[in-house]
Amino acid sequence: MISKMTGAVSCGWIQLDEKAIIQPTSSPELLIDPKPLMECRPIHILLVEDEPSLRDNVTIALESEAMLVSWAATGADADRLISAEKFDLVLLDVGLPDTSGFDLCREWRARRIELPILFLTARASEVDRIVGLEIGGDDYLVKPFSLRELVARIRAALRRVPKTLAVVGHDQVLKSAEGLMVDEIKMCILFDGEELELTRYEFRLMRLFLTNPGRVFSRGQLMDQVWEEPDCSLERTVDAHIKQLRAKLRDRGQPEDSIRTHRGLGYSFDPHS
C-alpha cells in the first residue's frame, strides 16, 4: 500500500538535476531565454512493519514532514515493492510474520540493494544491535521510540548516502566508459555485457569512478562517498580496495592504470589510459 503525501514542505524533498525550460513560441525573436529549473521529488520511504498502530503513527509522522510512505506488513510484500519501485530509505522491522528483518537485509545486500536500512525492533541487546549493523544495516532504533528521533535518524542516514546513489535512479543503466556499464537495476558493474564479481565497496568505488571519469578523488573523499562509517575506517582501506579493483579489471583486459594514482592527491579513473 502507498500512503499519499499530505504536505509539500521543502525539507521532505530531494533535489534532482537542473532542466532548461523554454517557453514555446512561433516567433524566434520572442523566444525567452532558457532558465534553469531545479526539479524536486519527495523522499520515498519503504516502511516494513506488521503492527498497525505503529505503522499508522510512523506514516503520519513522516507525511507531516512531506515524505512519501509505502508500507508492507510482510517480508514478501516488502521484497516485491523494493523490486518494483524507487525508494530512498527502508524502515525495517526485525520481527516480521514471515521472515526476520535481519534475513531480509542480508538478502537485499547480497543482491546489492544499497538503500539505507534503519531497523525498528523491540530487541535492545547490544548483540542484536551489532548484528544488525554488521549485516548491512545503517541504523538501529529500539521500540518504543520517539517519532521526532526517528525523523532525525532518517535525515542523518540520507545525508550519509553517496551522492551517486541519490542522483542515479534505480531504473537506469548508465554507460560511462567503453565496455564498462553501471547497471542500476541489478546494482552491478558490467564489462562487455558480463557482470564483474565485485564486493560491495568495490562496486561503490567503481560506480563512483564511472560516473565521474577523470575526476581526482582524495582518499578522504572516497571514504565519505563510499564507506558507510568513514570515521571508523582507515584511509589505507581505500588503497587495499583499489588494488583489488585494479586486479579484477586487469583480468578482464582493462588497462591496470585506468585507475590512476595521483601522488599526494588521490585516485581518478581514465578508461582510455
CATH of the domain at 79: 3.40.50.2300
> What's the pLDDT tens digit per position in 147-167?
999 999 998 888 776 544 443
pLDDT value at residue 256 = 66
Q: Does 174 lie in the same domain as 155?
A: no
Closest CA to 120 of 61, 65, 184: 61
Q: Does 57 lie in the same domain as 137?
A: yes
**Grid cell digits, residue 146:** 520517539
- Domain endpoint, select from 94, 129, 161: 161
Give the Cα separation of 68 and 158 in Å (integer): 14
Closest CA to 14 of 57, 79, 68: 68
pLDDT value at residue 233 = 57
Beta bridge partners of 91: 47, 118
Q: Does 135 lie in the same domain as 14?
A: yes
Residue 8 pLDDT > 50: no
- Domain endpoint, select from 161, 189, 204: 161
pLDDT value at residue 160 = 75
- Domain endpoint, select from 161, 184, 206: 161
Residue 260 pLDDT > 80: yes
Beta bridge partners of 70: 2, 46
pLDDT value at residue 57 = 95
Q: Does 174 lie in the same domain as 138?
A: no
Cβ(190)–Cβ(183) below 8 Å? yes
pLDDT value at residue 168 = 35
Q: Does 192 lie in the same domain as 62?
A: no
Q: Does 217 lie in the same domain as 115?
A: no
Q: Does 195 lie in the same domain as 141?
A: no
Cβ(78)–Cβ(120) below 8 Å? no
Q: Does 198 lie in the same domain as 91?
A: no
Q: What is the pTM of this model?
A: 0.53
Residue 125 CB burial class (10 angstroms; 0-12, 13-18, ≥19): exposed
Closest CA to 159 of 64, 82, 88: 88
Residue 254 domain boundaries: 166-269
Domain count, the chain: 2
> What's the pLDDT tens digit per position in 174-218?
444 557 888 776 778 888 878 888 888 888 898 888 888 888 888
